[in-house]
Structure formats: structure tokens, C-alpha cells
Amino acid sequence: MLFRTVAASLSLVITLVRLHLQPSQELSRADSLSLAVIIIAYVSTLVVGLRLRRGRGGLSDAWVQVVGDVVIATGLVYLSGGADSPLTFLYSLSVIGAAVVLDRRGALWAAAASVLCFATLVVGARFLGNAPGGLMPPTRVMFVLGSNALALVLIAVLAGYLSRQLSVAGGALSAREADLQRLGRLQQQILSSMPSGLVTCDAGRRITYVNPAGSLILQVDAGQVVGTDLEALLPGVLGLAPRSPRSELVVGRGLKRRILGLSVTPLDGETDALLMVFQDLTQLRRMEDDLKRADRLASLGALSAQLAHELRNPLASMRGSAQLLAQDAQDATGQKLTNILIREADRLARLVEDFLRFARPPTPVLQQVALASLLTETVDMLRVDPLARDVRVEMATPEAMSVSVDPDQLRQVLINLVRNAFQAAGPRGHVKVALTRAENEARIRIWDSGGGITEEMMGHLFEPFFTTRDGGTGLGLSTAHSIIRAHGGAIRVRSNPEEGTEFVVGLPL
């Protein structure tokens, strides 16, 4: 179409120049014919061009084009000298055009039509005696016709062959492209739906890809970390041997701390590029720790409960005896010493009672409790506790929810946790209490600004008698733990010096 437009425009320019130069103002027959041919060329190009643009061009348009080309070529050949015309090559362009749009069959038909038109033109002009270039001898006519016909058929065969090859190659290429695209989509789907995190990096240890699960586990935005240093995202990962079986890596701090089960593999085909696949083991490890702790506590609890029980009776006798002694004591020293005996026996008895409450917690008497009011009442009551002096106590408006719990036992848990928070926060410290609903559980959050629980303490926190405080019994958290477990819930802790400490009590809704 482009060729045709150029040819038509050239012819138009030539015709106009000739018209301008000739003395008479009248159009000759040849000029009108050449203008008609030019107009046909423009109009057919425009019509088919528009149809193609609208996506409506079809096989019939291709035929119209080819026939139009042959007609235009014939017109131009006729105008430029018939058999002697220097423009007979235009027929070959029509044939090549037909091969491109209609394959070999179209090319052969175009060649046949061209030969027919050219023959008609030459022979017709001869009979009518109006050949623009004058008459030529019959042998020369035969020669011109024969050579042109042969050339056109050969061009048709060759162009048809090339066009077939081109379309076969093009077809194979688009099939490959479609395959590649399908494969790319599949790969993308697999990467984004796999539950494991996946990170790749190049030889310079710059991150090249993070899949959605990876950004979720590491709590980063994939777009922002691509191109950054791998060590910043996964510190210590380069120390792990490539191809080693799964290793564990701890990343992040505080609330973002994650334990990853990770394997590092060199990326095939790219020297030094690495592929890291990982799972978040934080929850699993936490559950394992919980189980181990519960196990340890269970055996320790059974043994110590027996012991405490055995202590209770002799202790009561000792106190009774001390009381009798106190009544009979004559002098002040005897009185003082027996009072010490009674006081210490009371303290021991309280400890034993506390311990037995932890070791053999009474079965919870469950009832539906409005958690928000229970929490508010307990916190309000604790605001006047001497430990709360100089501590800023805040309580976010709790979400209303009803939970099946033993209110007395839960109150005991809250008192233990909130008083611990007061102690940890200390004067000018800050304590926040909140109640939220999440994943089928009610979550009571008790946060303090202290943040002094070390990794080492973390493992012993819920063990009975573990205390770091003067005068502490180390039974507060263990009692809270056993009560909450008896309710089917769990207590989780997070702590670091910058972000403070948070105890989260989860109760099933």
C-alpha cells in the first residue's frame, strides 16, 4: 500500500508538471486516463487502509488489492508506451504484493492476470493501431510478451515460496512466544501462590526478586528491597553453606523477630547468583517451647505439689505450737521470738497456698463474662495499688465481647500481669492495657515500657519460683500460665529494651 501510494504520488507529480508545461489548456485523453488511474490507486488504498485499521480487512480486500494493482500497473504501462514501457516491472511488484497477502496461489493468479492484461494491451494496441510508442514487429511483440510472462511466473513461484517460508517461520515464532508467555504466567502464579518465601540475588549480592510470601514473612515491600543488599534483608545468610540442608536463621528484632528455616542454592546458569527458599518457623518454635515448658511444668508441678501438701500439716502444727508458746512466754525476748516464728510460719503457709494454687489449680467454673467490664474493673482497682504510683496507666477502649471463663481466676491472672507491668515500668514508666478481637480469640494486651526481659530469661519466665525480684515468689506468671492453659488459651510475651514488654493473653472465643 505504501509502494502504491508513492508510485501514485510520483505519477501525479509528473502528470501535473506535464500539464503545466504543455501550451494547450485542454486535458488530453492520456492525461485524463493517467489521472483516473491515480485516483483509483488512491481510493483503493484509502478504502482498504481504513478497513484494515478497523480490523475488518479480509481475504476479499486482499483480492481487491491485487486486482487493483494489476489494473493500475496496466494503466501506467499503457500510458508509458505499451509494449515498450519502462514500467512493466510494476507487474512484478503486483505479483510480489499478491504473494505477501495471498500466498503462492494468489501470486500465480496475479501473474496470470498481469500476463493477460499485458498481452491484451499489446495485442489490442496493435490491432487498434493506437499504440503510444508506434507499431513494433510481430517477432518483437512475441519476444516481449514471452519474456515478461516467463519473468512474472518465475517471480510468482519464488515470491510464493518465500512468503510460505516466512509465514511458517512467523507461525513457529508466535507459537514459541505464546508458549513462553504461558510459561512466564505459570511461573508467576507458582511463585505468588507458594506458601514459602523466595528471594533471589545476583552475583553482587543485590536482591533481584522477592515473592509475595517472602515479603509477608519478612514484612517488607518487595518493590523497595529489590536492588538492595541481601545481607541487610537476611543478615548472616551468606555465612550459610550453599546447597546445605535447611539451616535456621533469626532475622529482625522485637516484634519483627522471625525464625526462618532456610535453604540456599546457587541459581543454575548464573554464576554466583543465589536462590533462597524459606519458611517462617517462629510460630512453630514458639509452640514447641510452650509444649516443652508445659511438660517441664507438669512434672515439676506434680512433684512439688506433693511436697507442698506434705508441708502444710507440719507447718500448721508448728504455728499452733508457736502460738501456745507465745501465750505462755514470760519475757519480752520469748514473746518477740515466738512472734517471729508465727509471722514466718504464716508467710510460709501463704507461699504453700500460692504454690498449690499454681500446681493444682481448681477446675475453672466457666460462665459467660463480659470481658471488657471485667478488665476495666480490674485495672481501675489496680490504679490505687502502691506499685502504680508514678506509673502512667492507660487503657484503650476495649472491644465488647463475651467469653466463657472463670471470672475469679481470670481476675487473678490480670492482677499478676498488671502488677508485674507496674513493677517493670517503674516510676515515670508507662503501662497500657487493651482488649482486641483477632483470629477467633480475645486478646488482652498488657504492655509496659520496661522491656527488661532477656532472651535467657524468656525460657524460664513461666517456671515456678523463677524470679529476679527481691521478695518475689516467682509464682505469679506460672499461676497465670496454668490458669490460662486450663481455659484453652495461651500467654505470649515479646520484649526488648526499645519497644518494651508485652504480655498477650489469648482466650478462645
Residue 217 or 453 having the CB closest to ligand ADP: 453
Least CB distance to ligand ADP at residue 430 (A)? 12
From the list 469, 488, 497, 508, which residue makes contact with ligand ADP (rule: CB under 6 A)? 469
Stretch that binds ligand ADP, among 2-10, 35-43, 236-244, 460-468 (CB under 6 A): 460-468
Q: How far is CA 156 from CA 5, 76, 170, 473, in A?
A: 22, 21, 20, 103
| 502 belongs to the binding site for ligand ADP (CB under 6 A) | no
CA-wise closest residue to 222 among 235, 232, 212: 212
From the list 45, 92, 420, 482, which residue makes contact with ligand ADP (rule: CB under 6 A)? 420
Q: Binding residues for ligand ADP, how many (CB under 6 A)?
A: 21
Q: How far is CA 285 from CA 215, 280, 292, 296, 457, in A?
A: 20, 10, 10, 16, 16
Stretch that binds ligand ADP, among 86-94, 183-191, 330-338, 414-422 (CB under 6 A): 414-422
Own/partner contacts of 98-102, CB < 8 Å, gap of 24 or more, are: 98/66, 98/69, 98/156, 99/156, 99/159, 99/160, 99/162, 99/163, 100/159, 100/163, 101/62, 101/65, 101/66, 102/59, 102/62, 102/63, 102/66
CA-wise closest residue to 197 among 183, 182, 224, 218: 218
CA–CA separation, 92 and 110 (whole Å):
9
| 361 belongs to the binding site for ligand ADP (CB under 6 A) | no
Residue 326 or 486 having the CB closest to ligand ADP: 486
Least CB distance to ligand ADP at residue 411 (A)? 15
Question: Residues, the chain, total?
Answer: 509
**Which residues, including other chains, have CB under 8 Å from residue 72's CB and lie 6 or more apart?**
4, 7, 8, 37, 40, 41, 90
Least CB distance to ligand ADP at residue 316 (A)? 24
Least CB distance to ligand ADP at residue 473 (A)? 4
From the list 15, 342, 448, 483, which residue makes contact with ligand ADP (rule: CB under 6 A)? 448
CA-wise closest residue to 66 among 108, 36, 32, 33: 108
Instruction: Give the SS3 label for residue 47.
Output: helix
User: How far, in whole angstroms, is CA 244 from its chain's centroid?
Assistant: 27
Phi–psi pair at 265, nearest 5 degrees? -130, 140
From the list 64, 67, 273, 461, which residue makes contact with ligand ADP (rule: CB under 6 A)? 461
Residue 213 or 421 having the CB closest to ligand ADP: 421
Stretch that binds ligand ADP, among 20-28, 195-203, 289-297, 416-424 (CB under 6 A): 416-424
| 415 belongs to the binding site for ligand ADP (CB under 6 A) | no
CA–CA separation, 156 and 146 (whole Å):
15
From the list 35, 411, 452, 494, which residue makes contact with ligand ADP (rule: CB under 6 A)? 452
| 161 belongs to the binding site for ligand ADP (CB under 6 A) | no
Least CB distance to ligand ADP at residue 466 (A)? 5
Residue 107 or 425 having the CB closest to ligand ADP: 425
Ramachandran category for residue 368: left, alpha or beta (phi over 0 → left; psi -120 to 50 → alpha): beta
Strand order in the sheet with 430-438: 392-395, 430-438, 441-448, 500-508, 490-496
| 496 belongs to the binding site for ligand ADP (CB under 6 A) | no
Near ligand ADP in 255-294, by CB under 6 A: none
CA-wise closest residue to 506 among 151, 228, 56, 487: 487
Residue 38 or 417 having the CB closest to ligand ADP: 417
Least CB distance to ligand ADP at residue 431 (A)? 9
The residue number with the shortest CB distance to ligand ADP is: 476
| 413 belongs to the binding site for ligand ADP (CB under 6 A) | no
Residue 407 or 429 having the CB closest to ligand ADP: 429
CA-wise closest residue to 477 among 44, 469, 401, 370: 469
Residue 33 or 387 having the CB closest to ligand ADP: 387
| 204 belongs to the binding site for ligand ADP (CB under 6 A) | no
DSSP state of 82: G
From the list 472, 488, 497, 508, which residue makes contact with ligand ADP (rule: CB under 6 A)? 472
Stretch that binds ligand ADP, among 64-72, 308-316, 380-388, 468-476 (CB under 6 A): 468-476
Q: Name the site residues for ligand ADP (rule: CB under 6 A).
A: 416, 420-421, 424, 448, 450, 452-453, 461, 466-469, 472-478, 501
